[in-house]
């Protein structure tokens, strides 16, 4: 359009702020608005309004000032203003390139309704560096692939959303993720350094692509607020061909990198024959006297893993019957007519159930249990259908139905125990003892079955369980003792049922170990004259315990031992004595053992140190959402292709940022 003879209209008479960035010219009856930045021509007619002009200014890449809030009318600004962020304090010393601190954000929906809310909103001035870090955090938190930044759809979305954002490469976003990891790692390092108690570790094996295997090391601890916390520390690749000593070296290197090799209390692992490297680590730490009880409580076998192995024994024993039940369900669900025929037979047999037959997910044993549970309710209907339909040949026999009923009863016991485990995301160690004792008693009864098929299966499970019990019963009992609702009474209740005539000897042994562990904590207590970390020995046939330090230069370490022993014999009651003398705390649904110890720390300063270390032990390392999974943890293909440093950075920083957001 030729505008050589057009007339510029005085913009001072125009009320909208958009005219600060446009020239309005008139040629004849036609009005045109010309952007002063990019010279683009748009309609300037009074009937066209100014919305299209505001939209252009928001996207105009040649416009130097991109604070667009003034372009939004007050009415729309109130309705469409940015989401308010409550309780957010911006650190003025924080560098701009650190990006928005996700941890301190708390969204308050009520502020959207309150126009006068006193809140801080995110500034509208564009910051490329901050946006890059926000993108990197998003990728870390949600586990997105790094190369998503080069996807066409992502590029189009970002350019339309914010044309000023300079698209980044996969290498650049990877570098940003590594930078975030280093900053978050320093925060975790400071937390671990200031802990008032010991740290317990878990080792979880992950499978990658090919034969690559990974170890995920996670720290469990009770912080100064008596909250049980978990932090993933390392995600490292290991060669399955390496010896136990070589695998132990990998883990020890990780522990020394975090400077926690002197602060360990226990280590939880699967307990398979390939886990001897944990024993190597225990022996090394015990030699340096870093462990309480000479490492008697260090080796913890994952109870969920043991129970899942016992479940697998049941499913293998019932393998052929499970196959027949699956095929029977497929047969009757192959047509609506066949399903109606089965339902009529069920009515004829007075089977009253609202549950529907369905196939299981073979990767989750709780799904298989539910399939068996419902099929058993229809077993008489299935048996009738077998007699009436010559094509129905896969129905289990009466004996097989009986075995399925017995084994499903076993599975129900394990299911209830697993559900108790999974009610809390990070359950404290005190909840496990009564659950495991109940399973112990069930196994004793199952082994007495007159059915050789059932008794042989029970003996196989009993053998697997006894190996676990021999290693972990002490830790389970000590944790139960530190629950003020039970103390020694729970041990005194279960052991006679489990051990019979030898129960008193077993109870005395647990009591002796508890006293020795308490004495060791009393020597390491700040209340003691002994400096924290000195080495000492408590003699005794059942409680030979070496302290958690190794400073041999202290010539008065023997005097400190003498002082501890004589102070307990001069009539002064110890924490342990007072704890045992007081009545049991009433049992109730809302009881929180950590809150109890938080409140009673002033009364039991030494015993509370012991409780902090013992109750933080992860008796199970399986996540609550994975307790019924039959397979192991498998790394996604995208993650398997990353370098070891990048993979560790993504896995660890995701855990750290998520846990802080959730808290």
The tens digit of pLDDT for each residue in 12-69 reads 566 677 888 888 888 777 888 888 888 888 888 877 788 888 888 877 767 755 555 5
Distance of CA 459 to the CA centre of its chain: 34
pLDDT at residue 116, as a whole number? 37
Contact 651, 218 (CB under 8 A): no
Q: Parallel, antiparallel, or unpaired for β 199-207 and 633-634?
A: parallel
CB 410 within 8 A of CB 314: yes
Mean pLDDT value across residues 468-482: 96
pLDDT category at 412 given cuts 50, 70, 90 is very high
**Confidence at residue 555, expressed as pLDDT on a 0 to 100 scale:** 65
Of residues 271, 233, 273, the one with CA closest to residue 251 = 233
Q: What pLDDT is attached to residue 571?
A: 62
Per-residue pLDDT at 7: 66
Question: Does residue 546 surpass a pLDDT of 60?
Answer: no
Cα torsion through 146, 149, 154, 160, rounded to 10: 150
Q: What is the mean pLDDT of residues 574-584?
A: 93
pLDDT digits (tens, 9 = 90+) for 510-528: 999 999 999 999 886 655 4
Does the pLDDT of residue 83 top 50, yes or no? Answer: no
Q: What is the pLDDT of residue 630?
A: 75
What pLDDT digit, counting tens, does each position of 340-399 carry?
999 999 998 888 888 889 999 988 999 999 999 999 999 999 999 999 999 999 999 999
Nearest to 360 by CA among 318, 321, 329: 329
Phi, psi of 629 (to 5 degrees): -75, 135
Question: pTM surpassing 0.85?
Answer: no
- How much is the pLDDT for 569? 56
CA distance 41 to 14: 18
The residue ranges of DSSP E strands in 22-91, in sequence order, are: 22-27, 30-35, 41-43, 85-86
Alpha-carbon distance of 111 to 484, in angstroms, equals: 44
Bridge partner list, 228: 222
Over the stretch 124-159, which tens digit does the pLDDT of each residue have? 578 999 999 999 999 999 999 999 999 999 999 999
What are 30's strand-pairing partners? 27
- Long-range interactions of 386-394: CB distance < 8 A, separation 24+: 388/345, 392/328, 392/331, 394/324, 394/327, 394/328, 394/331
Which residue is listed with tokens 């009564």?
Answer: 434
Residue 553 has pLDDT above 60, yes or no: no
| Distance, first Cα to last Cα, the chain | 62
Of all residues in the chain, the percent with pLDDT exceeding 70 is 81
**85-94, 108-117, 411-420: which has the highest mean pLDDT?**
411-420
With beta carbons less than 8 A apart as the criterion, state whether 533 and 594 touch: no
């Amino acid at each position: 359009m030729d505008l050589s003879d057009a007339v510029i209209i005085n913009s001072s008479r125009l009320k909208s702020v958009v005219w600060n960035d446009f020239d309005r010219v008139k040629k004849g009856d036609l009005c045109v608005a010309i952007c002063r930045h990019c010279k683009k021509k748009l309609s300037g007619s009074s009937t066209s309004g100014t919305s299209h002009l505001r939209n252009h200014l928001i996207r105009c890449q040649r416009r130097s000032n991109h604070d667009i809030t003034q372009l939004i009318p007050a009415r729309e600004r109130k309705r469409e203003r940015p989401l308010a962020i409550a309780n957010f304090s911006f650190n003025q010393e924080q560098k701009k390139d650190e990006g928005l601190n996700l941890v301190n954000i708390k969204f308050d929906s009520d502020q959207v309704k309150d126009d006068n809310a006193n809140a801080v909103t995110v500034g509208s001035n564009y910051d490329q560096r901050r946006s890059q870090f926000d993108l990197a955090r998003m990728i870390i938190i949600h586990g997105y692939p790094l190369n998503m930044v080069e996807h066409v759809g992502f590029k189009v979305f970002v350019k339309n959303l914010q044309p000023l954002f300079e698209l980044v490469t996969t290498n650049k976003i990877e570098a940003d993720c590594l930078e975030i990891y280093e900053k978050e790692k320093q925060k975790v390092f400071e937390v671990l350094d200031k802990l008032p108690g010991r740290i317990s570790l878990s080792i979880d094996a992950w499978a990658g692509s090919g034969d690559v295997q990974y170890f995920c090391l996670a720290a469990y601890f009770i912080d100064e607020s008596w909250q049980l916390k978990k932090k993933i520390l390392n995600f490292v690749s290991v060669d399955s061909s390496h010896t136990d000593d070589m695998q132990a070296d990998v883990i020890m290197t990780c522990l020394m990198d975090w400077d926690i090799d002197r602060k360990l209390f226990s280590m939880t692992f699967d307990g398979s024959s390939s886990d001897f490297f944990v024993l190597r680590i225990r022996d090394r730490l015990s030699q340096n006297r870093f462990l309480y009880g000479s490492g008697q409580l260090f080796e913890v076998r994952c109870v969920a893993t043991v129970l899942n192995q016992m479940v697998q024994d049941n499913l293998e024993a019932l393998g052929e019957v499970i196959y027949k039940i699956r095929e029977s369900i497929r047969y009757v669900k192959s047509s609506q007519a066949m399903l109606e025929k089965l339902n009529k037979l069920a009515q004829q047999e007075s089977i009253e159930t609202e549950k529907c037959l369905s196939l299981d997910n073979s990767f989750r044993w709780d799904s298989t249990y539910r399939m068996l549970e419902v099929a058993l309710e229809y077993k008489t209907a299935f048996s009738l259908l077998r007699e009436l339909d010559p094509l129905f040949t896969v129905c289990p026999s009466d004996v097989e139905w009986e075995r399925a009923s017995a084994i499903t009863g076993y599975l129900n016991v394990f299911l209830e125990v697993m559900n108790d485990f999974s009610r809390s995301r990070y359950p404290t160690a005190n909840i496990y003892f009564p659950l495991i004792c109940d399973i112990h008693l069930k196994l004793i009864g199952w082994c007495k079955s007159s059915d050789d098929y059932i008794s042989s299966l029970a003996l196989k499970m009993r053998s697997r369980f006894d190996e676990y019990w021999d290693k972990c019963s002490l830790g389970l009992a000590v944790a139960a003792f530190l629950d003020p609702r039970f103390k020694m009474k729970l041990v005194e209740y279960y052991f006679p049922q489990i051990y019979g005539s030898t129960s008193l000897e077993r109870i005395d042994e647990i009591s002796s170990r508890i006293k020795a562990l308490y004495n060791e904590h009393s020597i390491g207590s700040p209340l003691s004259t002994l400096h924290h970390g000195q080495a000492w020995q408590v003699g005794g046939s059942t409680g030979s315990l070496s302290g958690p330090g190794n400073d041999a230069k202290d010539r008065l370490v023997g005097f400190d031992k003498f002082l501890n022993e004589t102070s307990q014999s001069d009539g002064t009651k110890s924490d342990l004595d007072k704890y045992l003398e007081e009545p049991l705390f009433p049992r109730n649904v809302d009881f929180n053992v950590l809150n109890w110890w938080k409140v009673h720390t002033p009364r039991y300063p030494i015993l509370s140190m012991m409780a902090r270390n013992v109750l933080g032990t992860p008796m199970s390392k399986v996540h609550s959402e994975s307790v019924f999974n039959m397979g192991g943890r498998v790394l996604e293909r995208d993650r398997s292709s990353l370098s070891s440093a990048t993979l560790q950075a993504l896995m660890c920083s995701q855990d750290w940022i998520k846990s802080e957001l959730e808290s």
